[in-house]
């Protein structure tokens, strides 16, 4: 293991409060542990962005059912990338909100791109991509 280094970070107090709540929800022993994991996740995702490696992924979207043309745009994009879209599960969460889980396969970089396009549409409340490859990455 490489040497531990300390560094200081400046951030807004309300952001720190939110972060401490996140840490205190029992998920992390210390702020340092939380930051390590968040950094690793972010850097792994970033490394995958330009990756030509074959991967599978799920993209979870939560969105506003009433947003004009959103459902149509989501459908159009999935049709455009039908070579990567394996399956889609749609759940009508309540009167206003839909949950969609899209299973994707393809080059990791391409999956990142389509996920960004889908997540970036107006009216998407939440979008999260989880990538999986068959080989362990460090």
Residue closer to Ni ion, measured from CB, 59 or 98 = 98
Closest separation in Å from C-beta 79 to Ni ion: 18
Instruction: Say if residues 76 and 130 touch (Cβ distance below 8 Å).
Output: no
Closest separation in Å from C-beta 128 to Ni ion: 18
Q: Angle between the 13-24 and 31-49 helix axes, to the nearest 10 degrees?
A: 100
Residue closer to Ni ion, measured from CB, 47 or 91 = 91
Taking the C-alpha atoms of residue 115 and residue 41, their distance in angstroms, rounded to an integer, is 16
In this structure, what is the dihedral angle of CA atoms 48, 73, 98, 109, given to the nearest 10 degrees? Answer: -10
Closest separation in Å from C-beta 125 to Ni ion: 13
Residue closer to Ni ion, measured from CB, 36 or 92 = 92
- Residues in contact with Ni ion by CB under 5 A are 92, 98
């Amino acid at each position: 293991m490489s040497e531990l280094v300390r560094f200081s970070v400046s951030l807004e107090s309300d952001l720190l409060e939110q972060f401490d709540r996140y840490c205190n929800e029992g998920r992390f022993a210390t702020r340092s542990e939380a930051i390590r994991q968040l950094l690793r996740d972010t850097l792994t995702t970033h490394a995958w962005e330009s990756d030509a490696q074959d991967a599978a992924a799920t993209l979870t979207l939560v969105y506003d059912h009433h947003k004009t043309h959103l459902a149509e745009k989501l459908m159009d994009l999935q049709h455009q990338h039908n070579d990567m879209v394996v399956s889609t599960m749609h759940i009508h969460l309540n009167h206003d909100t839909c949950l969609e889980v899209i299973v994707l396969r393809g080059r990791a970089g391409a999956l990142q791109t389509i996920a960004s396009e889908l997540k970036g549409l107006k009216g998407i409340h939440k979008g999260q991509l989880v990538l999986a490859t068959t080989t362990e990455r460090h």
